[in-house]
């Protein structure tokens, strides 16, 4: 059996022993955690047992499934419905990510013209960022 057939079969499987998650939702997380364990071994000389890798994959899959179950409304642009935007308006959407261990932040911006066509996008990595709030502030 080749990889593609094995992957398809694994995604269709229903359970994993002693785990209440569908195996299909666990397989991608197993692959991801095997990959990150490999990278930790190569780049940080940190070893993980097979049990630790599987346990982390189960935790990741559970978090993902639970998060997907939460239905939240994504807010649109903060514009009053009574004030229509002119056709030549450009919207800017921004976000930031922060890594505490290295005190680094990734910042990103997307500029949209109407109707929601990306006109430009930018990203930047910044050192010496003290918190996630500071990262978001820098992005703004």
> How far apart, in whole angstroms, are the C-alpha atoms of residue 62 and residue 18?
14
- In this predicted model, which residue has the larger pLDDT, 72 or 94? 94
pLDDT of residue 85: 65
Two tokens, residue 36: 């990150």
Domain boundaries, the chain: 3-69, 91-139
Does 80 score more than 50 pLDDT?
no
pLDDT, one tens digit per residue, over 84-139 is 667 777 878 888 998 989 999 999 988 877 666 777 888 999 999 998 889 999 98
CA-CA-CA-CA torsion sign (124, 125, 128, 130): positive
pLDDT of residue 82: 47
> How far apart, in whole angstroms, are the C-alpha atoms of residue 109 and residue 119?
11
Does 74 score more than 60 pLDDT?
no
Q: What is the dihedral of CA 110, 112, 116, 119, to 10 degrees?
A: -90
């Amino acid at each position: 059996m080749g990889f593609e057939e094995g992957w398809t079969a694994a995604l269709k499987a229903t359970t994993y022993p002693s785990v209440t998650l569908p195996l299909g939702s666990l397989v991608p997380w197993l692959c991801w955690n095997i990959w990150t364990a490999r990278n930790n071994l190569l780049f940080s000389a940190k070893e993980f047992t097979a049990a630790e890798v599987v346990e982390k994959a189960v935790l990741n899959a559970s978090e993902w499934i639970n998060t997907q179950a939460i239905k939240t409304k994504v807010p649109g642009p903060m514009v009053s419905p009574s004030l229509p935007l002119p056709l030549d308006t450009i919207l800017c959407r921004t976000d930031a990510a922060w890594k505490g261990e290295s005190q680094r932040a990734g910042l990103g911006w997307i500029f949209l013209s109407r109707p929601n066509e990306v006109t430009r996008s930018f990203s930047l990595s910044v050192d010496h960022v003290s918190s996630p709030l500071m990262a978001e502030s820098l992005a703004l």
